[in-house]
Structure 1
Amino acid sequence: MWSSLKGWLWEWRGVLVAGPSAATIIILLRLIGALQPLEWGALDQFLRWRPTESTDDRIVVVGIDETDINRLEQWPASDRELAKLLELVRAQEPAAIGLDVVRDRPMQPGHDRLIEVFKSTPNLVGGGKTSYGVAPGEAILGNEAIAPPPVLAELEQAAPVNLVQDSDGTVRRGLVAIQVNDQGDSEVSFSLYLAALYFEANQIPYVDTLDAIMPFSSNFGGYAVADNSGKQFLLDYRRSDPSFTIVSMFDVLDQKIDPELMRNRVVLIGVTAASEKDYFITPLDRSIWGDFGETSGVEIHAHMVSYFLSYVADGRMGIRVWSEPIEWLWILGWAIAGSIISWKWRHAGGKGKETQSRVNFIYLFIQTISTLGLVGLLIGLSYGAFLAGWWIPVVPPLIATTVSVALIVGYIAQSAAEIRTQFGRYLSDDVVASLLETPEGLKLGGQRREVTVMMCDLRGFSSISERLDPEQVVQILNIFLGTMAEVIVKYRGTIDEFIGDAILAIFGAPILGENDAERAVACAVEMQLKMTEVNQRITALGLPKIEMGIGLNTGVVVVGNIGSTTRAKYGIVGSNVNLTARIESYTVGGQILISEPTYKAVDSCEISGSLQVEPKGVTEPITIYDVSGVSKYDLQLAGSEFELLPIAKDVIVEYKVLQDKHLGNDVFEGRVMRLSPNGAEIITDEELTPMTNIRLLPPLGVDQPQADTGFYAKVLDRPTEPHNGDRTIYIHFTTIPPEAEVWLLNLYDEAQKVKA
């Protein structure tokens, strides 16, 4: 079960990381208010998208417009004109009259008449402004307070007309009540007072219903740490054109209106003239392109009155929100949904013959369409919920979805970059580009092409690895292969594959160059020179030194993507690949052997000798050349042979011949005549041709070790000193076990002492 769980966790690792991470980031940003303007914008847009409603005929607005101001004898209007207006309105028997003309001093003439009207109109409410209970910058007029008409205040027919603006200047909230002192006392708002008069006039119970209005909290919906003093609510604006019946002051004074227009209605009187600057921005005045209008203060109060009337009388629930934990789960759900879609489509277009660019395009196209579909679904669900009276988060889940998708895409891009980087460890940048970006780069199939093939192999590494722990073997291989791969890439070679401790590389494919063979030989020389660095790193770990042989051959091969549509590799096939391996098998540690076609293709190649050999599978002998340097690249192999010294004692060795890597049964003897730490001259009766591999058996003699210290050597075609006409051969040690190395060094030290 744990194994299955681990597999599931790994399979969905991207989703499990990206989704919660994106949600956490967005929730934190939301809590500090970073997303507040965007969420306000979404709310405003939903309000504007809402279907048009009917005009609320329970409300009439008497607006004092520019024409009215121009016709008045003075401005502000005299108490006489205001009293006359109120008398005409009262005569139509409205349910409530709201005077949103804040004035706390007489405006003669006609003040006594106005006072009489105030006293004789019990359903009249006058407006005033308080500076208490609303944070600076959120209340209209800041901290400035204006008292209502004194008579109405004494009659307790006054209420605050404060409007609450958000930090972007938009009025989205209304007031049920506003705090007026430090003791926590509050007064009902102007709009609620008028609504209550309407309910009482029509005998509609309202107290319990109004108590159920969802109160505004500091983190209400998309708000973050907002001032929620008093009792506020989110204003559900009525979207209709017009929202209310609006008449001008002189329409009433000139008695041009229907005598029944205001009967049993709420009448609000206020200034609508633009010159008086009693205008504010509402959600209905905003668009994604900016503000395109403003609404007068008296009309905003009319919207608030309409909100209360509709809430109580029509059952309109207003705008509600979820609790914060549910909103967080909603955001998390969409973040996970976005990451799931992105994660599931990450392999889109990843099979077949498409180039990497096309694969990326397909993935991004599908990802874009899927993300847009998810975004459309989110907006659709959120808008549907809004029509049902719920303001649920839309911007946070939208951003969380986008962030989660971006995290997945980023992870995939990083993985692709890492793959490209890993690919680039074995191929040069232009080769990687050819494979990943060109139409032919990943196409299955092959083509005939002349290339230079390189095969390098560690000499005697199988014997070394038998004496080491697997972890130590891996350490050696990682150091060796990593260093050699860097050199091959430097010379624009293509690593076909690692074969244990061997490397097969190509020069001339997939990118064909003018000097592929020359670069290949120069690369081989630098690789041999790098072995000094490799051995320094290996011996620092307490591990034995290693040696490498390199073979190169130039010829026609078939090169391309080999395999199937589900799994393929870039590689080469052909007899010239096999011939390269044969040539490499003739090398000893530190040696580079090249074929004749390679030698002829490299004018600057320096050699120290040549040899004719008959590799298996080749009908005629071929000539191979021992490379010592490449003058054009100023590369030269350092001599690694020690001086052969005669030994005083009679040392007999036994050996067996290896044929095709199989050890023969016959045992032959040889006498060591001259010796160095890496080779020896021996006299033997057996005729051994150059390049023959032998295994030396435990040496015989009193001073020789008793353990099985057999080691390997290769017969080389090098001059030897004659010894009374006996057959003398030179052997180069290819694998020297530690015990045999001690024995050899002791013999060599003795020979050096004799010479001295």
Structure 2
Amino acid sequence: MWTQLKQQFWQGRAVALTTFSIAGFVLALRWAGGLQFLELTALDRFFRWRLPEAVESRVVIVAIEEADIQAQGKWPIPDRAIAQLLDKIKSKNPSAIGLDLIRDLPVEPGNEELNEVFASTPNLFGIEKVIGGAYGATIAPPPQLAEQNRVGAIDLLLDRDGKVRRGLLAITLEDGQTKESLAARLALKYLEDRGIEQEVVDGDAGEVKLGKALFTPLNANDGGYVRIDPRGYQLLLNFRRRSCTQEPCSRFPTVSMSEVLEDRLPPDFLAETGGTGFEGRIVLIGSTAPSLQDRFFTVYENPLAGVEIHGELTDLILSAALDGRPLMQMWSEPLEVLWIVVWSGVGAISIWVLRRMRWKLVGFVALGGGLALGSFGAFQAGWWLPVVPALMGFMGSGIAIAGYQLYLEQKERQTMMNLLGQQVSPKIAQQVWRDREQLLKEGQILGQKMVVTVLFSDLKGFTTITENIDPETLMFWLNDYMKAMSQIVLDCDGIIDKFIGDAIMAVFGVPIPRTTEEEIAQDAQNAVCCAMKMAEKLKQLNQEWYEKGFPTTAMRIGIATGVVVAGSLGSQQRLNYTIVGDSANVAARLESFDKSLDGGICRILISEQTHDYLHAQFPSQLIGLAQLKGRKQPMNVYQVPIK
């Protein structure tokens, strides 16, 4: 019991050490930013895999396409054309209009007309760019709209790989002034018309309630991000996946500038907006022409125009506030650390517990797939979990434990081979290796009581042979004999216990204990069969030796069946697998019993118990009741004749 407890303690220690070591490495790598690219790539993949969602047509886009620029004959589009476009849209009673076009300076002709439209359209919002430096130069808003505080910022945040995944609701400047984004201005105007206003829940944490949604700003280390600049009120964009039948796939109901000016709204646009066109909706006007290079990479394969990204952020606010659509949420850092440690432990434990390689692979794939699918399911519900670090911890711990187990197996195999060497056949070696956990304890094969059959063989007249042959020839001759006889023992599922000069001691029924009478009988029959094959082999060897001028010989074999204790004997420096018990002595005494009793080339004597297990499978004859040397009680001795 103490041995088992000790073994379990060391096994548990190995699993725990592996779990925390791998988890610590993954967490350190993550903290250093080494996993941010992989985590963001996994996030992109989840966005592309998510189920398609229908987009509420609260936001529509009036796109300025290449054909519109060519129709106007110049870029920027003249103010008069923009004024006409705004008049057309305003007449359809939209909830709000976002003009995503730079108008810090007049673009004649028509500037006065445009200013009149600006003044007469209270739900119209222009744009400005307030963040400079790495994000480009700042751009002033249209003066007329700035005076009326109807301007929104269009600044976009780029991750290190150049993709837009975050959106800004508000920007705080160095002078403490706060600028709301265009998307925020448009969404708040839309919600205000419906009696929904923002409510500050926790000013320190930046929590704001808006309709059905609770908005919380993104922090520097949220999700897979590592030490990003968290200034401003940032949100992780929750891009929808739309099911499109044609390309390009518009994120929102879209119509071109020319189609609006010419009063020819397409049927599919009207169908998407319920036949009302712009009424009661947010209208975003902006360029989608590739030549203007106002496109940005996002989680999707194809880049989006800037106006589409502003539409995404506007839709995110509206769908969260009105429909309760989940905002992307992340766990706190302690929970993420626990998640990674737990999956590191799952990887280590699963590989340790599942012993067979087939089940290791099946379990490893199933658990890893479950982690990925579970993380994707959580993503569908609006949670960004650290799937990449968890998978790395899971796989790293599993591989480390598998490597450790391989090391232990090699060590155990070496121990087993050191104990058994070339004593067993491949068949028995496979059985021993299969049951090694029951056999090996602390580097030794523990002694087990079992019923075995022992075979003891010796050559007749060996002493005389050694006197008449030189040592070198004797060694060659004896090795020739030993190799042949050893192979026969192995072929008959026995093991070589030891060589004693010219004598061979073999055992049948070890090291796996026999549990049935049929198995014990089979061992006895294998031993007798082995003896008869040894006799046949000796005939063949004698013929070969005679032709080479070597001496010929005969042999005696004793076989006994009974209870012994089998196990490793010796010290750590020198261990041997052997048996201890009366049956070994009986077999040796039978071999040396009454040497005048002839048996031809091989005399085979067996004990009464061995004879009973033969079940008449081999011919035998009773020699009689004999008093074997060293034994008090006489026993019946049988001979198996050799033809």
Provide TM-score, normalisation by structure 2. Answer: 0.65
In the other structure, the counterpart of 2:331 is: 322
User: Offset at 1:307?
Assistant: 0.9
RMSD, aligned α-carbons: 4.8
CA offset digits 1:418-458 (Å, max 9, x no partner): 22333455677x999957998999899999999999xxxxx
Matched ranges for 1:213-292 at <5 A: 213-241=215-243, 242-257=250-265, 260-283=276-299, 285=300, 291=301
**Cα distance in 2 for residues equivalent to 1:335 and 1:301:** 40
Aligned to 1:31: 31
Alpha-carbon shift at residue 66 of structure 1 (Å): 1.6
Q: Indicate the residue corresponding to 1:395 in structure 2.
A: 388
Q: Deviations over 1:271-320 (max 9, x none)?
A: 1112222112222x1xxxxx3x1211111110100111112222223111
Distance of aligned partners of 1:314 and 1:27 in 2 relative to their CA distance in 1, 3 Å threshold = same
Match of 1:185 in 2: 177
- 1:552 maps onto 2:504 in alignment: no
Cα-to-partner distance string for 1:217-268 (whole Å, 9 max, x where unaligned)? 1111111122211110111123334542111011111111369411221110
Rate the CA distance shift 1:431–1:25 in 2: closer, same or farther, 3 A.
farther
Matches within 5 A, 1:531-546: none
Q: Report what 2:167 is aligned to.
A: 174
CA contact (8 A) 1:436 1:442 kept: no
Match of 1:195 among 187, 192, 209: 187
Matched letter for residue 218 of structure 2: F
Residue 369 (structure 1) shift: 1.1
* In structure 2, C-alpha distance between the alignment counterparts of 1:433 and 1:113, rounded to whole Å: 102
Q: In structure 2, how many angstroms separate the alpha carbons of the residues matched to 1:41 and 1:509?
A: 67
The amino acid across from 1:154 in the alignment is E
Are 2:333 and 1:331 aligned?
Answer: no
Q: CA deviation at 1:327?
A: 1.5
Unmatched segments (≥5 aa) in structure 2: 201-208, 244-249, 437-450, 460-475, 489-498, 532-540, 551-587, 597-628, 632-643
**Equivalence map 1:643-722=2 (5 Å):** none
Q: Could you say if the C-alpha distance between residues 431 and 307 of structure 1 is closer, same or farther in structure 2, counting changes exceeding 3 Å?
A: farther
CA distance in 2, matches of 1:58, 1:509: 92
Match of 1:109 in 2: 109
Equivalent residues of 2:432, 2:511 under 8 A apart: no
Partner amino acid, structure 2, of 1:116: E
Q: Corresponding residue for 1:311?
A: 320
Residue among 358, 372, 375 paired with 1:379: 372
1:59, CA displacement in angstroms? 0.8
Helix, strand or coil at the partner of 2:186:
helix
Instruction: Tell me by how many angstroms 1:386 deviates.
Output: 2.1
Q: Closer, same or farther in 2 for the Cα pair 1:441/1:13, shift >3 Å?
A: closer
1:61 maps to what in 2? 61
Q: What is the rounded CA distance, in whole Å, between the counterparts of 1:380 and 1:559 in structure 2?
A: 54
Does structure 2 retain, via aligned residues, the 8 Å contact 1:268–1:298? Answer: yes
Q: Distance in 2 between matches of 1:233 and 1:420?
A: 58
Give the drift of 1:58.
1.0
Instruction: Say if 1:261 and 1:234 are closer, same or farther in 2 by CA, change over 3 A.
Output: same
Aligned length: 487
SS in 2 for 1:177: strand
Q: Is the 8 A contact 1:128 1:146 kept in 2?
A: yes
Render the CA deviation track for 1:104-134: whole Å, top value 9, x for unaligned. 22222112222222222222211222334x8
Provide the C-alpha distance between the structure 2 equivalents of 1:404 and 1:75, rounded to a whole number of angstroms: 59
Residues 80 and 109, structure 1, Cα contact 8 Å, conserved in 2: yes
Q: Counterpart of 2:63 in 1: which secondary structure?
A: strand
| Amino acid corresponding to residue 376 of structure 2 in structure 1 | Y
* Residue 20 (structure 1) shift: 2.6
276 and 7 in structure 1: CA distance in 2 versus 1, 3 angstrom threshold:
same
Query: Of residues 311, 335, 340 in structure 1, which corresponds to 2:349?
Result: 340
State the distance in 1 between where 2:100 and 2:321 align.
23
Q: Tell me if structure 1 keeps the 8 A contact 2:326–2:381.
A: no
| Alpha carbons of structure 1 residues 369 and 110: separation in structure 2 relative to 1, 3 Å | same
- Which residue in the other structure is 2:198 paired with? 206
Return 5+ residue gaps in structure 1 as ranges: 137-141, 286-290, 347-362, 454-490, 495-505, 513-549, 579-595, 606-614, 622-659, 663-756
Look up the equivalent residue of 1:111 and give its one-letter code: N
Q: Is the 8 A contact 1:103 1:146 kept in 2?
A: no
What is the CA–CA distance in structure 1 between the aligned matches of 2:434 and 2:158, rounded to whole Å? 62
Amino acid at match of 2:294: D
Q: Of Structure 1 and Structure 2, which has the larger fraction of its residues in helix?
A: 2
What is the TM-score normalised by the length of structure 1?
A: 0.56
Q: How far off its partner does 1:43 sit?
A: 2.0
Secondary structure of 1:53's match? Answer: coil
Structure 1 residues 31, 452: CA separation in 2 closer, same or farther (over 3 Å shift)? farther
3-state SS, counterpart of residue 233 of structure 1: strand
Inter-CA distance 325–6: structure 2 relative to 1 (3 Å threshold): farther
Distance of 2:277 and 2:120 partners within structure 1: 21
Work out the CA distance in 1 between the residues paired with 2:63 and 2:456: 93
* 1:512-527 alignment, distance < 5 Å: none
Specify the SS of the correspondent of 1:99: strand
In the TM superposition, what is the alpha-carbon distance from 1:367 to its structure 2 partner?
A: 1.1
Say which SS state the counterpart of residue 26 (structure 1) adopts. helix
Q: Establish whether residue 295 from structure 1 lines up as the match of residue 288 from structure 2.
A: no
Paired residues for 1:157-168 under 5 Å: 157-168=150-161
Equivalent in the alignment of 2:414: 421
Cα separation, 2, equivalents of 1:229 and 1:191: 18
d(CA) in 1 for partners of 2:12 and 2:412?
20
Helix, strand or coil for the counterpart of 1:41? helix
Letter in 1 for 2:311: A
Q: Percent identity?
A: 35
Q: Which residue identity lines up with residue 97 of structure 2 in the other structure?
A: I
CA contact (8 A) 1:179 1:187 kept: yes
* 6-15 or 297-306, larger mean C-alpha shift: 6-15
Determine the structure 2 residue equivalent to 1:624.
none
Tell me the distance in 1 between the aligned counterparts of 2:511 and 2:143.
97
Assess, with a 3 A threshold, how the Cα gap between structure 1 residues 9 and 551 changes in structure 2: closer, same or farther.
Answer: closer
**CA shift at 1:197, angstroms?**
1.5
> Compared with structure 1, are the counterparts of its residues 156 and 441 closer, same or farther at alpha carbon in structure 2 (3 Å cutoff)?
closer
1:124-171 Cα offsets, whole Å, 9 max, x none, are: 211222334x8x4xxxxx332222223322332222201112112221
Shift in Å at residue 564 of structure 1?
A: 3.5
Return closer, same or farther for 1:450/1:161 CA change in 2, 3 Å cut-off.
Answer: farther
| C-alpha spacing 1:419/1:262, structure 2 compared with 1 (3 Å) | same
Over 3 Å counting, the alpha-carbon distance change for 1:24 and 1:604 in structure 2 is farther
* Residues 201 and 560 of structure 1, relative CA distance in 2, 3 Å threshold: same
User: Is 1:155 aligned with 2:154?
Assistant: no
For residues 333 and 458 of structure 2, the distance between their equivalents in structure 1, rounded to whole angstroms, comes to 69
Aligned pair in 2 of structure 1 residues 434, 105: CA closer, same or farther (>3 Å)? Answer: farther
For the residues of structure 1 that align with 2:317 and 2:374, how far apart are their CA atoms?
27
Q: For residues 342-391 of structure 1, give each alpha carbon's deviation from its aligned partner in whole angstroms, at most 9, with x where no partner exists.
A: 11112xxxxxxxxxxxxxxxx22211111122123223322222222222
SS in 2 for 1:63: strand
Give secondary structure in 1 for the equivalent of 2:501: strand
- Structure 1 residues 270 and 255, CA gap change in structure 2 (3 angstroms): same
The match for 1:652 is none
Q: Matches of 1:409 and 1:51 in 2, distance apart? A: 37
CA contact (8 A) 1:272 1:298 kept: yes
Distance 1:265 1:325 in 2: 42
More relative contact order, 1 or 2 (CA 8 Å, 6+ apart): 2
Distance 1:374 1:451, change over 3 A: farther
